[in-house]
């Protein structure tokens, strides 16, 4: 068989031969980073809501103590997972869980991978969301409280939606980081894009060509995700127009008001 | 029952921020239909008093009775908040919701009303404050006066027995003060019990049936508007009034 001699020749050859591998790896990378980001986001929301539970003079001592303990544990979680590399977390969690018998040998590795990315992302998200909550005017929470909403209700329907809108760029950033950094999971043999690329490169020892392809795929992924998140942000801002409902006299001509939109 | 039935009884209320005592031994009562205006210099503790009554601040000492029962221990917090509403100086409309949803959210989440009833009720009160046509707008798209009228509708939609107002017109451009005061005047005539912190002296004189003058965390004088505005007993009340009335 005639082997290619040019860069593009090799690229075409490798794509044809290992297209499937690239596709599977891309799928796995997307699956892990998307699921990991979403679960991490939920973890972050829960942690942030727990950390902001209010106490007042009627709060019993035991509840106060529990809350203090909870805060210590949550802070510990955040410090540990932000303070160590994900590649090390992967090793410790995977081999630790294996030794402790928590995962049997047959456990699908993607589940482990998603767990690691989620818990790692959760630590970052908790801090990002805390920042988002601080960015929401205190009066919003007070108004919710003043009509009788509980801490959870006011967080869920008033504070967090605004906090999340404010931190959408950071959330998108976490997703992009996860797309790229899930590559470190190749150390525990997760068949994501980097791992698959390594296998593809090994056969003909064409590291440069294979990883050039890999780089382009990562770039396409991150670029697309960034665009999609922009669209979601737009959507969250809601309509820039509203319609003044026709009163009797104006019913012919409902008036539409257009708000000047600032480009951010 | 022999004794008069009070809606609210504030007794020996005290509030400290650290070592700074902001409210000192505040006691007064409110009866159904009372329109009480609280006046006083900036920093005298008026906002803190309202915030303590609504437990946005934790009182340091003292008691608040609502219909004779301790608001802190004998009422469910959500129920108390639904019955004692608040209107803020800075409106605090929920920025993530439309005007309509601002009024609907509390009814559905707190009172457990179904959405259809809540929407009907909301539209009814938005209509009352003249904001029904704007129900699909977002707070950012409204003027200050419009926002405050929506905030009043939001509070009314909870069917409160008492509404607390903390300087509802102080953040408004002068030409919008009138529209909000008109709504409040209307509510007073409708018999709603209101506790209003305000610098609008003519409103206090015309609409309130009682005026409380606060000075440095104390109730310095308390009486009918005719007494307070025409023959204040205390020198500091006279001084305050001459300052604000002769602007
Ligand atoms: N959260 C707070 N922490 C510390 N001091 C406060 C706080 N809120 C109000 N104060 C102080 O309490 C005093 C009364 O404030 P406030 O009730 O806002 O007065 P008013 O509404 O009459 O202008 C002021 O000296 C103010 O600085
Ligand atoms: Mg004030």
Summarize pLDDT for A134-190 with one digit per residue, the tens. 999 999 999 999 999 999 999 999 999 999 999 999 999 999 999 999 999 998 888
For A245, name the nearest residue in chain B, comparing CA atoms only: B133
The C-alpha atoms of residue B127 and residue A73 are separated, in whole angstroms, by 50
Q: How confident is the model at residue A251 (pLDDT cuts 50, 70, 90)?
A: very low
Which atom from ligand 1 is nearest to the alpha carbon of B57?
A: 1
Closest ligand to Cα B57: 1
Contact B187, B3 (CB under 8 A): no
The confidence score (pLDDT) of residue B220 equals 95
3-state DSSP assignment of residue A114:
helix
The confidence score (pLDDT) of residue A101 equals 83
CA distances, A98 to each of A69, A95, A101, A183 (Å): 29, 5, 5, 21
The confidence score (pLDDT) of residue A107 equals 74
Measure A68 CA to ligand 2 centroid, in angstroms.
33
Residue in B92, B134, B157, B167 to test binding to A, most A beta-carbons within 10 Å: B92
Q: How confident is the model at residue A264 (pLDDT cuts 50, 70, 90)?
A: very low
Q: Across chain A, what does the average pLDDT equal?
A: 89
Mean pLDDT is lowest, of A202-211, A242-251, B226-235, for A242-251
Residue A249: pLDDT over 80: no
What share of chain A has pLDDT > 70, as a percent?
92
Q: Which residues of B touch A142 (CB under 8 A)?
A: 56, 88, 92
Q: How confident is the model at residue A248 (pLDDT cuts 50, 70, 90)?
A: very low
Residue in A148, A153, A247, A261 to test binding to B, most B beta-carbons within 10 Å: A148
For A138, name the nearest residue in chain B, comparing CA atoms only: B92
Residue A240: pLDDT over 80: no
The confidence score (pLDDT) of residue B46 equals 97
Give the residue whose CA is nearest to atom 3 of ligand 1.
B17
The C-alpha atoms of residue A33 and residue A224 are separated, in whole angstroms, by 14
Contact B78 A142 (CB under 8 A): no
Q: How many CA atoms lie within 13 A of A177 on its CB side?
A: 16
Q: Which residues of B touch A233 (CB under 8 A)?
A: none
Question: Helix/strand/coil (H, E, C) string of A33-61?
Answer: HHHHHHHHHHHHHHHHHHHCCCCCCCCCH
The confidence score (pLDDT) of residue A256 equals 56
Residue A102: pLDDT over 90: no
The confidence score (pLDDT) of residue A259 equals 52
Closest ligand to Cα B213: 1
CB atoms within 10 A of CB B28: 18
The confidence score (pLDDT) of residue A252 equals 41
CA triple B170-B176-B182, angle to 5 deg: 90
Q: Which residues of B touch A244 (CB under 8 A)?
A: 133-134
Radius of gyration (C-alpha) of chain B in whole angstroms: 18
What class has domain A7-258? mainly alpha
Q: Which among B210, B193, B196, B206 has a CA at the least distance from the CA of B156?
A: B193
Quote the tokens at residue B93: 């409309």
The confidence score (pLDDT) of residue A263 equals 42
Which atom from ligand 1 is nearest to the alpha carbon of B41?
A: 22
Contact A148 B81 (CB under 8 A): yes
Closest ligand to Cα B214: 1
Residue A258: pLDDT over 60: no
- The phi-psi region of residue B212 (left if phi > 0; otherwise alpha if psi is between -120 and 50; otherwise beta) is beta
Q: How confident is the model at residue A58 (pLDDT cuts 50, 70, 90)?
A: confident
Contact B94 A158 (CB under 8 A): yes
Query: Touching check for A1 and chain B: CB below 8 Å?
Result: no
The confidence score (pLDDT) of residue A100 equals 86
For A157, name the nearest residue in chain B, comparing CA atoms only: B105
Contact B38, B212 (CB under 8 A): yes
The C-alpha atoms of residue A200 and residue A213 are separated, in whole angstroms, by 11
What are the contacts of A75-83 at 24+ separation with CB within 8 A? A77/A47, A77/A122, A77/A123, A77/A126, A78/A47, A78/A123, A78/A126, A78/A127, A80/A123, A81/A119, A81/A120, A81/A122, A81/A123, A81/A124, A82/A123, A82/A124, A82/A127
Residue A250: pLDDT over 50: no
CA distances, A92 to each of A81, A83, A87, A95, A112 (Å): 12, 14, 9, 6, 12
Which atom from ligand 1 is nearest to the alpha carbon of B197?
A: 21
Mark the ranges of chain B whose per-residue pLDDT is less than 50. 1
The C-alpha atoms of residue B82 and residue B69 are separated, in whole angstroms, by 16
The CA distance from A159 to the nearest CA of chain B, in Å, is 9
- Domain range annotation of chain A: 7-258
The confidence score (pLDDT) of residue A57 equals 79
First to last CA, chain B: 47
- Whether B45 is in the pocket of ligand 1, judged by its Cβ within 6 Å, is yes
Which atom from ligand 1 is nearest to the alpha carbon of B46?
A: 22
Label residue B146 exposed, middle or buried (CB < 10 Å: 0-12, 13-18, 19+). buried
Q: Which residues of B touch A152 (CB under 8 A)?
A: none
Candidates A147, A158, A243; nearest CB to B82: A147
Query: Touching check for A55 and chain B: CB below 8 Å?
Result: no
Query: Touching check for A56 and chain B: CB below 8 Å?
Result: yes
CA distances, A200 to each of A15, A109, B23, B135, B157 (Å): 10, 20, 75, 59, 65
The confidence score (pLDDT) of residue A1 equals 67
Contact B93 A143 (CB under 8 A): yes
Residues 6+ apart with CB under 8 A from A40: A117, A118, A119, A120, A121, A122, A124, A125, A174, A178
Residue of B45, B52, B199, B213 with the most ligand 1 atoms within 8 Å of its CB, for mutation: B45
Residue A203: pLDDT over 90: no
ipTM of the assembly?
A: 0.93
The C-alpha atoms of residue B72 and residue B65 are separated, in whole angstroms, by 8
The CA distance from A119 to the nearest CA of chain B, in Å, is 29
Contact B214, B39 (CB under 8 A): yes
Q: In what order do the strands lie in the sheet with B20-31?
A: B20-31, B6-17, B61-66, B69-70
The C-alpha atoms of residue B26 and residue B23 are separated, in whole angstroms, by 7
Q: Which residues of B touch A157 (CB under 8 A)?
A: 94, 105, 109
Candidates A149, A162, A243; nearest CB to B136: A243
The confidence score (pLDDT) of residue B15 equals 97
Which atom from ligand 1 is nearest to the alpha carbon of B45?
A: 17
pLDDT in tens, A109-142: 889 999 999 999 999 999 999 999 999 999 999 9
Candidates B90, B109, B151; nearest CB to A153: B109
């Amino acid at each position: 068989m005639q082997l290619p001699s040019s860069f593009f020749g090799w690229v075409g050859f490798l794509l044809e031969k290992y297209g499937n591998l690239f596709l599977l790896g891309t799928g796995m990378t997307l699956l892990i980073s998307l699921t990991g980001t979403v679960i991490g986001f939920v973890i972050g929301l829960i942690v942030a809501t727990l950390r902001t539970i209010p106490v007042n003079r009627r709060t019993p001592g035991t509840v106060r103590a529990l809350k203090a303990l909870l805060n210590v544990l949550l802070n510990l979680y955040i410090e540990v997972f932000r303070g160590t590399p994900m590649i090390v977390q992967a090793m410790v969690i995977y081999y630790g869980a294996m030794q402790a018998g928590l995962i049997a040998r047959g456990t699908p590795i993607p589940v482990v991978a998603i767990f690691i990315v989620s818990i790692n992302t959760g630590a970052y998200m908790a801090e990002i969301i805390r920042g988002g909550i601080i960015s929401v005017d205190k009066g919003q929470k007070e108004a919710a409280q003043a009509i009788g909403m509980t801490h959870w209700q006011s967080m869920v329907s008033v504070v967090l939606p605004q906090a999340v809108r404010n931190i959408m760029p950071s959330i998108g950033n976490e997703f992009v980081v996860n797309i790229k950094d899930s590559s470190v999971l190749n150390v525990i043999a997760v068949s994501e894009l980097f791992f698959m690329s390594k296998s593809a490169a090994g056969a003909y020892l064409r590291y440069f060509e294979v990883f050039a392809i890999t780089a382009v795929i990562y770039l396409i992924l991150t670029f697309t995700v960034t665009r999609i998140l922009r669209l979601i942000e737009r959507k969250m801002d809601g309509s820039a127009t509203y319609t003044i409902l026709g009163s009797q006299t104006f019913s012919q001509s409902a008036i539409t008001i257009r708000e000047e939109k600032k480009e951010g | 029952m022999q004794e008069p039935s009070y809606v609210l009884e504030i007794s020996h209320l005290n509030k400290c921020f650290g070592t700074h005592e902001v409210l000192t031994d505040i006691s007064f009562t409110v009866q159904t239909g009372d329109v009480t205006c609280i006046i006083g210099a900036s920093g005298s503790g008026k906002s803190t008093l309202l915030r303590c009554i609504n437990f946005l601040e934790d009182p340091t000492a003292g008691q608040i009775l609502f219909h004779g029962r301790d608001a802190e221990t004998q009422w469910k917090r959500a129920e108390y908040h639904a019955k004692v509403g608040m209107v803020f100086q800075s409106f605090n409309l929920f920025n993530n919701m439309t005007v309509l949803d601002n009024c609907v959210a509390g009814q559905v989440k707190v009172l457990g009303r179904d959405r259809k009833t809540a929407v009907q009720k909301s539209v009814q009160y938005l209509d009352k404050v003249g904001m029904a046509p704007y129900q699909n707008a977002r707070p950012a798209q409204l003027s200050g006066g419009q926002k405050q009228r929506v905030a009043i509708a939001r509070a009314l939609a909870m069917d409160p027995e008492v509404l607390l107002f903390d300087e509802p017109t102080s953040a408004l451009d002068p030409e919008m003060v009138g529209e909000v005061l008109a709504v409040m005047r209307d509510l007073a005539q409708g018999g709603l019990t209101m506790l209003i912190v305000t610098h609008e002296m003519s409103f206090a004189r015309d609409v309130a049936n009682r005026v409380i003058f606060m000075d440095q965390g104390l109730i310095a004088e308390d009486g009918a508007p005719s007494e307070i505005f025409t023959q204040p007993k205390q020198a500091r009340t006279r001084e305050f009034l001459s300052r604000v009335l002769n602007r």
